[in-house]
C-alpha cells in the first residue's frame, strides 16, 4: 500500500464485549430505551446545552438519531435499529430493547458464541413459523370490512407516544382522522397493480388538536389571495376545471446554463422576447379554456395579471414536493417548456375553493377522484407537533403495511409473553435430531432457550414503569399488570381485570405467576392456547410486519455483536 505513514498504530481490542466500557454503555442505552417504552413511558429531553432546539420525545427514531455513539459496537446496534425504523416506522423501541437484552442474556451464559448463535437461530425459526401459522395464538386477522381493527391499530400507536401530549378525546379524534385519510388514499377501482395515493400533512402549530381535520385534495398556501373576493374560475362544458401544471419557471428568466457563449446584438432584449413568449402561452391557455394554472416555480407578474383578467386562476411557488401528487390527482402532465404546449398535458379538477386556517389562506384543489388528501395537523407547541407528526406518519405507514398483510399482533406485552411460553413449551419437547442439527447438547439448548425467553419477557416487563408486579397466565400466556402498592402474595385474580392487550378478562382461573427477572422458576409449560374470542373492541394491537421484522433484526443484530471478536480502530 502506498499510503501516507500512519501517525498512530491502530487500536486492537479483542473480545470487545467482555470489556467493562462496552457493557456499561450497553446497559445505559438499554436503560434509556426501556424507560421510554409504552404508553406510560418517560419522556426524554434532548438539548445541546448551549440553547437552541429542545426535543422532548419518547420515540426511538428521534432518540437514536440524536444520541452520540460512544463505542463502535453500540453504533452497529443503533444503526440497525434506525434502519429498521426507516423501513417500518414502528417497533423501533421493541427491536432495540430486545436486542440489548438478548446480548446481555446470551453474554452471561458462558457458552461459545457460535453455539449460541446457532441455537437462537433455531429458536427464531420456531417463532417465525409459529407467527406465520394459522394456529398462532397471538395474532388477529384484520377485517377490512369494518374499521374497528384499523382504529385499534392507530389508537395503540398514538397512545404509545406520550410526548404527543394527547388526552383521550384527542386520541380518538386523531385516530378517526388518520384512518379516514388512509381510506381516502386507497383507490376506489381495484386494478391488478394499484398504487396507494398520498396523504399530505399540513402543519398548523399553536392550535388545539381537535381542530385538526382531513380534506380530500390538496392545499396550496397562497398568502396573497383575498378571502373576501368570490372566486371566478372558468369551467369547461362538463363543469370541471381544466388545469395546466408547469414545472418550468414562468418568470421570463429561463435561460439554460449551457456551456459555450451566446452573443446578443445591441438593442435586442432576450428578456422582452421571453416575456412575449410567456404572454403567448397565456393566450393559448385562455384559448384552451384552462381555468387554473399551477406553477412549481415563479410566474411573471404580468402573466399573472393577464391570466387574472381572463378569469384564469394562477397559483405559483407550489414546490417540488407537491408536483407528483398534483400530477397524480389531476391527471395532468407537468409541462417543461413554454415553447410548445400540447393540449394532452392538461388535467381536470372538480372544484377549487379557498380555505382559511388560523391566519393562513390556502387554495383547496378538489379532485374528481380522492386519491390524494391533506391532513391539517394541529398541536399546541412545536415539539409536541413534531412528535405528533412522526406518530401520524408511523400510523399511516402501519396501515399501509397492514393492507399488504392483513394481520396484527396483540400488543401490551402479550405477544412477547405468549411467544416466550410457546418457546418454553417447544424447547422442552424437542427431538434429539434438533440438537444434532445445531451441534450442541440439550443442556446448552435449554440455557439458550431460557435466555431467549427471558429477553422477550424483559421487553414486556419494560412496559411497566411503576412498582407494580407483572404477571403472566399459564393458559394463554398473556401479560397482566398489577397496579402498584400491593404485596406480591395477593390473590392475583382480585387485582387484575384485563390482560395487556385487552383480549382476556379474568373470568376464569388462569393460574397467574410472576413474570420475574433473572430468577424465573422452572415451570412446566403447556402450549399456550388461543383466546376464545378474537374480536373485541379497544384491543391494543401492533403492526404484524414491523414486529416480525423487528424480532428477526433484533436477533440478527445481537448475533452480529456477539460474534465480534476484534475491534480494530484506526486512530488517525
Partner 1 sequence: MARRQRLAQEAAALAGAVRGALGPRGGRALLVRATGQAVLTRDGRRLLEALSLEPPTARMMAACACRHRAATGDGAKTFVVLLAGVLGGLCAAGGGLRRALQAFEAQVLERAVAQGLRRHLLTALPGREGEAEAAALEALLEAYLAGRLGPGERRRLARLCAEHCRRCAPAAASRPQALRLLGRRFAELHAAVAGLPVASSMVLPGLVLRRDFATYSPAGGELRAVLVTEPLRPALSAPSVEFVVDSEGQYQASLQWITRRTEALMKHLQSNNIKLLLSSVKQEEAVISYAKLYGISVVECLSSEEMALICEITGVSPCAPFGDNMLGGITETAVATFCQPLLLGSKRCAHIGFTSVCTFQPHCLILCGPVDSVNEQHAAALQEAFIMLQQLFKTAEQREECKAEGESRSEALGVCSWPCSATQTQLAIENNYCNSTQVPEGQSKAHRDGAETQIVDPDLHGCDNPVCVQTDLPVLSSPILHIKEFSGATEGDGSSRGVQEPHAECERLGAMHLNCKSDSLVDSQKHHSTAVLACNANAGTACESLGAGKDLEKTSCNIVPLKQGESCVSTAQNYSGSLIKAGSVLPVGGYFEVLLHYYIQYYAKQFQQSEVAVVSNVVADALLSIPKTLYGTTEQNSFTKFYLRAINSLRKNEPLPMNGEGLESVYCKYHLVISVLHCVTELLSIDLIIGIKRPLQKAEDYDSENDF
Angle at 314 between CA 370 and CA 204, to 5 degrees: 55
Quick check: 194 binds partner 1 (CB under 8 A)?
Answer: no
Task: For the CB of residue 366, give the shortest distance to partner 1 in the complex, in Å.
Answer: 25
Strand partners, 414: none
User: Residue 442 or residue 497: which is nearer to partner 1 going by CB?
Assistant: 442
Q: With contact defined as beta carbons under 8 Å apart, do 251 and 304 qualify?
A: no
Tell me how long the chain is.
572
Give the separation between CA 120 and CA 75, rounded to whole angstroms.
23
| Contact set for partner 1, span 387-416 (CB under 8 A) | none
Q: Which of 429, 507, 518, 572 binds partner 1 (CB under 8 A)?
A: 572
User: Residue 73 or residue 392: which is nearer to partner 1 going by CB?
Assistant: 73
Quick check: 442 binds partner 1 (CB under 8 A)?
Answer: no
Neighbours of 351 (CB within 10 A): 16
Quick check: 549 binds partner 1 (CB under 8 A)?
Answer: yes
Quick check: 83 binds partner 1 (CB under 8 A)?
Answer: yes
Q: Which of 86, 356, 381, 509 binds partner 1 (CB under 8 A)?
A: 86
The set of long-range contacts for 269-277, using a CB threshold of 8 Å and a minimum separation of 24, is 275/300, 275/302, 275/303, 277/338, 277/339
344: left (phi over 0), alpha (psi -120 to 50) or beta: alpha
What's the CA dihedral at 133, 135, 139, 142 to 10 degrees?
Answer: 80
User: Residue 47 or residue 569: which is nearer to partner 1 going by CB?
Assistant: 569
Stretch that binds partner 1, among 31-39, 226-234, 490-498, 554-562 (CB under 8 A): 554-562
Give the separation between CA 533 and CA 520, rounded to whole angstroms.
30
Quick check: 190 binds partner 1 (CB under 8 A)?
Answer: no
Stretch that binds partner 1, among 11-19, 130-138, 456-464, 492-500 (CB under 8 A): 11-19
Give the separation between CA 232 and CA 12, rounded to whole angstroms.
74
| Contact set for partner 1, span 127-146 (CB under 8 A) | 128
| Contact set for partner 1, span 216-275 (CB under 8 A) | 247-248, 256, 258-265, 268-270, 272-273
SS3 11: strand
Quick check: 565 binds partner 1 (CB under 8 A)?
Answer: yes
User: Residue 232 or residue 269: which is nearer to partner 1 going by CB?
Assistant: 269
Task: For the CB of residue 569, give the shortest distance to partner 1 in the complex, in Å.
Answer: 4
Residues that contact partner 1, how many (by CB under 8 A): 75
Quick check: 520 binds partner 1 (CB under 8 A)?
Answer: no
List the one residue out of 243, 251, 256 whose CA is nearest residue 288. 243
Q: Which of 108, 232, 276, 302 binds partner 1 (CB under 8 A)?
A: 276
390: left (phi over 0), alpha (psi -120 to 50) or beta: alpha
Q: Are strands 313-315 and 347-349 parallel, antiparallel or unpaired?
A: unpaired
Stretch that binds partner 1, among 26-34, 40-48, 210-218, 556-564 (CB under 8 A): 556-564
User: Residue 462 or residue 549: which is nearer to partner 1 going by CB?
Assistant: 549
Q: Are strands 360-366 and 351-357 parallel, antiparallel or unpaired?
A: antiparallel
User: Residue 380 or residue 389: which is nearer to partner 1 going by CB?
Assistant: 389
| Contact set for partner 1, span 463-492 (CB under 8 A) | none
The set of long-range contacts for 234-241, using a CB threshold of 8 Å and a minimum separation of 24, is 234/289, 234/290, 234/291, 234/310, 234/311, 234/312, 235/291, 236/289, 236/291, 236/348, 240/348, 240/349, 240/350, 240/368, 241/291, 241/292, 241/348, 241/349, 241/350, 241/351, 241/352
Task: For the CB of residue 554, give the shortest distance to partner 1 in the complex, in Å.
Answer: 9
User: Residue 120 or residue 458: which is nearer to partner 1 going by CB?
Assistant: 120
Contacts (Cβ under 8 Å, ≥6 apart) of 149: 140, 142, 143, 408, 535, 539, 541
| Contact set for partner 1, span 87-116 (CB under 8 A) | 87-88, 112-114
Provide the mask over 331-370, with x wherever binding to partner 1 is found by CB under 8 A and - wherever it is not: --xxxxx-xx-x-xx-------------------------
Task: For the CB of residue 72, give the shortest distance to partner 1 in the complex, in Å.
Answer: 5
Stretch that binds partner 1, among 302-310, 348-356, 457-465, 563-571 (CB under 8 A): 563-571
Provide the mask over 35-74, with x wherever binding to partner 1 is found by CB under 8 A and - wherever it is not: -------------------------------------xx-
Q: With contact defined as beta carbons under 8 Å apart, do 369 and 263 qualify?
A: no
Q: With contact defined as beta carbons under 8 Å apart, do 326 and 364 qualify?
A: no
Indicate the DSSP class of residue 309: H
Stretch that binds partner 1, among 26-34, 84-92, 517-525, 526-534 (CB under 8 A): 84-92
Stretch that binds partner 1, among 38-46, 117-125, 171-179, 223-231 (CB under 8 A): 117-125
Q: Are strands 360-366 and 218-221 parallel, antiparallel or unpaired?
A: antiparallel
What's the CA dihedral at 395, 529, 429, 102 to 10 degrees?
Answer: 30
Task: For the CB of residue 333, give the shortest distance to partner 1 in the complex, in Å.
Answer: 5
Stretch that binds partner 1, among 5-13, 29-37, 140-148, 527-535 (CB under 8 A): 5-13
Quick check: 320 binds partner 1 (CB under 8 A)?
Answer: no
Task: For the CB of residue 204, give the shortest distance to partner 1 in the complex, in Å.
Answer: 27
User: Residue 115 or residue 421: which is nearer to partner 1 going by CB?
Assistant: 115
Quick check: 75 binds partner 1 (CB under 8 A)?
Answer: yes
Give the separation between CA 430 and CA 125, rounded to whole angstroms.
14
Quick check: 557 binds partner 1 (CB under 8 A)?
Answer: yes
Quick check: 123 binds partner 1 (CB under 8 A)?
Answer: no
Quick check: 84 binds partner 1 (CB under 8 A)?
Answer: yes
Residue whose grid cell is 373576501: 228
Quick check: 507 binds partner 1 (CB under 8 A)?
Answer: no
User: Residue 395 or residue 515: which is nearer to partner 1 going by CB?
Assistant: 395
Residue whose grid cell is 424465573: 520
Contacts (Cβ under 8 Å, ≥6 apart) of 472: 417, 420, 421, 457, 478, 479, 480, 512, 513, 515
Quick check: 519 binds partner 1 (CB under 8 A)?
Answer: no
Amino acid at each position: 500500500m502506498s499510503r501516507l505513514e500512519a501517525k498512530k498504530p491502530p487500536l486492537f481490542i479483542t473480545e470487545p464485549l467482555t470489556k467493562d466500557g462496552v457493557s456499561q454503555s450497553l446497559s445505559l442505552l438499554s436503560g434509556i430505551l426501556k424507560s421510554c417504552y409504552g404508553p406510560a413511558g418517560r419522556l426524554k429531553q434532548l438539548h445541546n446545552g448551549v440553547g437552541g432546539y429542545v426535543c422532548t420525545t419518547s420515540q426511538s427514531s428521534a432518540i437514536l438519531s440524536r444520541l452520540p455513539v460512544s463505542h463502535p459496537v453500540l453504533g452497529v446496534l443503533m444503526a440497525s435499529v434506525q434502519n429498521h425504523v426507516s423501513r417500518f416506522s414502528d417497533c423501533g423501541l421493541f427491536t432495540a430493547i430486545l436486542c440489548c437484552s438478548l446480548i446481555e442474556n446470551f453474554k452471561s451464559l458462558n457458552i461459545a458464541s457460535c453455539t449460541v448463535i446457532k441455537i437462537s437461530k433455531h429458536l427464531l425459526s420456531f417463532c417465525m413459523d409459529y407467527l406465520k401459522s394459522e394456529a398462532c395464538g397471538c395474532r388477529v386477522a384484520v377485517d377490512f370490512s369494518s374499521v374497528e381493527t384499523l382504529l385499534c391499530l392507530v389508537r395503540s400507536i398514538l397512545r404509545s407516544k406520550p410526548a404527543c401530549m394527547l388526552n383521550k378525546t384527542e386520541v380518538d379524534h386523531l385516530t378517526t382522522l388518520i384512518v379516514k385519510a388512509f381510506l381516502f388514499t386507497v383507490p376506489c377501482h381495484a386494478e391488478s397493480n394499484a398504487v396507494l395515493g398520498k396523504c399530505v400533512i399540513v402543519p398548523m402549530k399553536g392550535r388545539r388538536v381537535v381542530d385538526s381535520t382531513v380534506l380530500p385534495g390538496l392545499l396550496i398556501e397562497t398568502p396573497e389571495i383575498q378571502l373576501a373576493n368570490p372566486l371566478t374560475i372558468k369551467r369547461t362544458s362538463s363543469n370541471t376545471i381544466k388545469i395546466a401544471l408547469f414545472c418550468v419557471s414562468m418568470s421570463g428568466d429561463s435561460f439554460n446554463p449551457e456551456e459555450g457563449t451566446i452573443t446578443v446584438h445591441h438593442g435586442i432584449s432576450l428578456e422582452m422576447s421571453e416575456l412575449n413568449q410567456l404572454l403567448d402561452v397565456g393566450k393559448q391557455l385562455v384559448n384552451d379554456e384552462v381555468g387554473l394554472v399551477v406553477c412549481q416555480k415563479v410566474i411573471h407578474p404580468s402573466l399573472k395579471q393577464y391570466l387574472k383578467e381572463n378569469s384564469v386562476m394562477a397559483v405559483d411557488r407550489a414546490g417540488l414536493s407537491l408536483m407528483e401528487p398534483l400530477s397524480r390527482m389531476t391527471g395532468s402532465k407537468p409541462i417543461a417548456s413554454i415553447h410548445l404546449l400540447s393540449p394532452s398535458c392538461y388535467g381536470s379538477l372538480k372544484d377549487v375553493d379557498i380555505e382559511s386556517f388560523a391566519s393562513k389562506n390556502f387554495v383547496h384543489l378538489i379532485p374528481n377522484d380522492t386519491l390524494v388528501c391533506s391532513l391539517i395537523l394541529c398541536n399546541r407547541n412545536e415539539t409536541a407537533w413534531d412528535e405528533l407528526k412522526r406518530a401520524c406518519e408511523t400510523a399511516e405507514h402501519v396501515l399501509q403495511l397492514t393492507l399488504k398483510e392483513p394481520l396484527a399482533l396483540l400488543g401490551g406485552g402479550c405477544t412477547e409473553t405468549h411467544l416466550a411460553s410457546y418457546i418454553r413449551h417447544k424447547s422442552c419437547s424437542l427431538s434429539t435430531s434438533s440438537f444434532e442439527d445445531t451441534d450442541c447438547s440439550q443442556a446448552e439448548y435449554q440455557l439458550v432457550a431460557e435466555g431467549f425467553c427471558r429477553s422477550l419477557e424483559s421487553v414486556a416487563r419494560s412496559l411497566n414503569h411503576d412498582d407494580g408486579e407483572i404477571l403472566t397466565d399459564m393458559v394463554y400466556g398473556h401479560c397482566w399488570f398489577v397496579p402498584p402498592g400491593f404485596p406480591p402474595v395477593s390473590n392475583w385474580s382480585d387485582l387484575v381485570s384485563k390482560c395487556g392487550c385487552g383480549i382476556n378478562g379474568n373470568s376464569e382461573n388462569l393460574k397467574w405467576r410472576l413474570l420475574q427477572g433473572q430468577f424465573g422458576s422452572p415451570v412446566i409449560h403447556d402450549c399456550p392456547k388461543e383466546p376464545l374470542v378474537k374480536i373485541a373492541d379497544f384491543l391494543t394491537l401492533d403492526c404484524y410486519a414491523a414486529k416480525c421484522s423487528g424480532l428477526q433484526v433484533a436477533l440478527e443484530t445481537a448475533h452480529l455483536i456477539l460474534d465480534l471478536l476484534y475491534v480494530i480502530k484506526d486512530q488517525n
